[in-house]
Structure 1
Amino acid sequence: MRLVTSAQMKQIERNAVLAGLSYSEMMENAGRVAFGALSAYHDFEGETALVFAGKGNNGGDGLVLARMLWRAGAKVTVLLCDGEPQTKEATANLSLLPRTVAVLNLAYETQALEGLSKPDFVVDALYGTGFHPPFEMRDRQAAQWMNCCGAPVYALDLPSGVDADMARADCDAVRARCTFAFDSLKYAHCREPAKGYCGEVHCLNIWIPEECHRGLYWEIEEQ
């Protein structure tokens, strides 16, 4: 099993682009494999799902997953915690959401969290490996809501509030039932205290060619 830092993961992704796999394709792959992993826990048809999406590519992964959940019959609400996406790949996936997917922009709808009902499950796609303390206020409120709502939370790559490299965790870091790591494990998946916030960790293949990893990871025993 591969173990990488966040900087190494970014280099692996750049290598993948040079090898012909675009960021858009990696995002689509991440959302699809997360959907497949999540199907082990939920049937989707008729279930309610909340997807908390950040402004970066982790949020874009969440938007792909939201589209997959809608196609599978779930009633999906997307919460844009930091406003509109800031990458072209995530922006494109926001535009692909069907009109029947409710999208709430917390940058403008500041009281939206207070009106939410408990869903069947929650997807945390706020930060991924991009969290560096402290939380932005809206994101802290979102993390607190996820921790208090009583529904199982599934984190994409890492729970929000967890530092990928230092394995530190904010006091309000999301406590996930499961974390779906993409391509490689990060240090926070394996070291306390961050490990305790991840729940079950599943490392998912997003089809980055093996040669893109050369010299950029530690080999660890299978989890």
Structure 2
Amino acid sequence: MHRKPIVTCAEMKELEQRADEAGLSYYQMMENAGSTAYDIIMAEQEHFLHKACVFCGKGNNAGDGFVIARKILEHGDQVRIVLTSGEPTTPDAITNYELIRDRIEIIRLYESAPEQAAADLEKALCDMKEDDLLIDAIFGTGFHGTPRGNAAAAIDYMIAHRDDRMIYAIDIPSGLSGDEEGEVRPEKAVYADFTISFHARKPVHANQYPMIADHMGQVVVADIGIGTALECVKGDGSF
């Protein structure tokens, strides 16, 4: 398989569109992304999870998080979800949310007053221990700007616990931009131990400036089937 080692966010959207047209639906890509991320996490944890908390925004990155939470639940481990910014809004994320919403503990952080969100989150997660996992599925690679509101409070929580929790970022540590190639220090971003990128690295994943790379931890690229879908159509999985 020929795969471009770095793809921009715009190129990734085009690849996803082409894969969808080739028969790999967006829903299946989300299922593959969440399932593969779960497998990577479990391999790193030697197939043992004590407890996990998945922080989810409102978009497709949250949808990946819902799939991961479902897989953890099906494995028989303890998991809860923190909704930082509201209920999911994209169709596939909504579908995956509906699969678990009645089976899992959900902390609706978005219902907290902004000035109270940090305290409410600490109280809700006061039973988390050092061997528990935090999974960041708040913002995807298309995020730009600075986190605000209760999503920022969730990111602050992960930053505060970076030394006593293992943190996995799904696609990108929330607060960074996927196309960031420069030496721009983010105002607020998660520090991950592992970042799981889908299909290929984005420019930020290859950024070697310490103020960016320090947020990334170890970058792992997960195959979600896009290359195979494109190969089946044209015999070439490259961009």
Normalising by structure 2, report the TM-score.
Answer: 0.84
CA-based RMSD of the aligned residues comes to: 1.9
Partner Cα distance (2:93, 2:185) in 1:
26
Distance 2:237 2:225 in 1: 15
Hey, what does 1:104 align to over in structure 2?
Answer: 107
Q: Is the 8 A contact 1:179 1:199 kept in 2?
A: yes
In the other structure, the counterpart of 2:94 is 91
Gaps of 5+ in 2: none
**CA spacing shift, 1:23–1:174, aligned 2, 3 Å:** same
In terms of mean alpha carbon deviation, does 117-126 or 57-66 score higher?
117-126
Structure 1 stretches lacking a partner, 5+ long: 217-223
Describe the shift of the 1:66–1:169 C-alpha distance in structure 2 as closer, same or farther (beyond 3 A): farther
TM (normalized to structure 1)? Answer: 0.90
CA radius of gyration, larger in: 2
* Corresponding residue of 1:123: 135
Instruction: From the superposition, tell whether residues 189 and 66 of structure 1 become closer, same or farther in structure 2 (CA, over 3 Å).
Output: same
Contact 2:53/2:82 (CA < 8 Å) preserved in 1?
Answer: yes
| CA offsets 1:98-137 (integer angstroms, 9 cap, x no match) | 6341012222144431311235001000112022112122
Task: Answer yes or no: is the 8 Å Cα contact 1:45–1:72 preserved in 2.
Answer: no
Number of residues paired by the alignment? 216
Q: Which amino acid aligns with 1:157?
A: D
Identify which of 122, 129, 134 aligns with 1:114: 122
Which residues of 2 match residues 31-110 of structure 1 at below 5 A? 31-42=34-45, 47-97=50-100, 99-110=102-113
Cα gap change, 1:65 to 1:108, in 2 (>3 Å): same
Q: What's the offset of the Cα at 1:201? A: 0.6
* Amino acid of the structure 1 residue aligned with 2:212: A
Give the whole-Å Cα distance in 1 for the aligned partners of 2:101 and 2:60: 19
C-alpha distance 46-16 of structure 1, shift in aligned 2 (>3 A): closer
Report the counterpart of residue 155 of structure 1 in structure 2.
169
